[in-house]
């Protein structure tokens, strides 16, 4: 095959195929926006009251533990579900008392389904400090959500937290 005789057609064909590939990739990545303008976005505000906690007083890196409790509406009066967290210790500070950093996966069970969350938490004195959350997904009416949120300490003595979760739906 001689490139000089058919070279012009070869490069024109290659350029056309490259353009088609770029347009196809760009089209596949530009699905309908799922930002704040989506029609079924919502913010959930829940109060969590801890009932179970297994982090030992002297944790070690790599050690697992769990926490769980009930979820209430924003007033704390009406029970809406339960929360279960499984965590792994990823760091323990040398301070006295030490701060324990853990990576936690949390499941909220609610009437409409389950929400799956992930967070990095700093524990000191049996409770965790304010932290950010990522919404990984869910089941039931939450089966196509993503989003983020915060967990804020409501009552450090009772280990009560306010969860504000921003859900972005399809």
Tell me the two tokens of residue 86. Answer: 């499984």
In the chain, count of helices (H) and strands (E)? 1, 9
- Sequential pLDDT tens for the chain (170 residues): 444 444 444 333 333 333 333 333 333 333 333 334 445 799 999 999 999 999 998 999 999 999 999 999 999 999 999 999 999 999 999 998 899 999 999 999 999 999 999 999 999 988 999 999 999 999 999 999 999 999 999 999 999 999 999 999 85
Interatomic CA distance for residues 37 and 132, integer angstroms: 23
Give the span between the Cα atoms of 89 and 102, in whole angstroms: 4
């Amino acid at each position: 095959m001689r490139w000089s005789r058919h070279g012009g057609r070869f490069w024109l064909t290659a350029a056309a195929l490259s353009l088609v590939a770029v347009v196809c990739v760009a089209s596949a990545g530009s699905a309908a926006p799922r930002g704040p303008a989506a029609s079924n976005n919502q913010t959930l505000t829940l109060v969590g009251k801890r009932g179970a906690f297994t982090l030992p007083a002297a944790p070690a890196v790599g050690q697992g533990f769990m926490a769980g409790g009930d979820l209430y509406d924003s007033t704390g009066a009406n029970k809406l579900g339960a929360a279960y967290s499984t965590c792994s210790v990823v760091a323990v500070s040398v301070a006295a008392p030490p701060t324990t950093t853990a990576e936690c996966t949390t499941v909220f069970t609610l009437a409409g389904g389950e929400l799956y969350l992930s967070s990095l938490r700093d524990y000191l004195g049996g409770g965790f400090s304010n932290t950010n959350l990522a919404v990984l997904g869910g089941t039931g009416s939450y089966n196509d959500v993503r989003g983020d949120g915060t967990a804020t300490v409501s009552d450090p003595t009772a280990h009560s937290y306010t969860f504000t979760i921003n859900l972005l739906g399809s």
